Amino acid sequence: MKRTRLAAAMVIGLAALPAHAASPRHDAAPVAGALLPHKISYTLNLARLKAGSLVAAGGKASYQLRDACDSWSSSQKLEVQIMSGDGSTSVVTYQSATLEDKNGRRFLFRTVQSQDGETTSETAGEAIRQRHGQVVVHFTKPDAKTITLPAATVFPVQFTGALLAAARKGALHLQSQIFDGASADGATPNYVTLGTLAPATPGFDSPAFAGGMAVPVSVASFGGGDATLLPDSTYSDRLWTNGVEDKLLIDFGDYVLSGQIDSLTPLPAASCSLTR
- 89 CB burial (10 A radius; 0-12, 13-18, 19+): exposed
d(CA 61, CA 81): 12
Backbone dihedral region for residue 33 (phi beyond 0: left; psi -120 to 50: alpha; all else: beta) = left
For 188-244, what is each residue's pLDDT tens digit?
Answer: 999 999 999 999 999 899 999 998 999 999 999 887 555 556 777 889 999 999 999
SS3 assignment, position 170: coil
| CB crowding 63-76: b at 16 or more within 10 Å, else e | bbbbbbebbbbbeb
The model's confidence at residue 54, banded by pLDDT at 50, 70 and 90, is confident
Q: What is the CA radius of gyration of the chain?
A: 18
For 237-257, what is each residue's pLDDT tens digit?
Answer: 999 999 999 999 999 888 999
For 90-140, what is each residue's pLDDT tens digit?
Answer: 999 999 999 999 999 999 999 999 999 999 999 999 999 999 999 999 999
Q: Using DSSP, how many helices (H) and how many strands (E) does the chain show?
A: 1, 17
- Are β-strands 71-84 and 54-67 bridged in parallel, bridged antiparallel, or unpaired? antiparallel
pLDDT of residue 252: 86
The model's confidence at residue 9, banded by pLDDT at 50, 70 and 90, is very low
For the entire predicted model, the pTM comes to 0.85
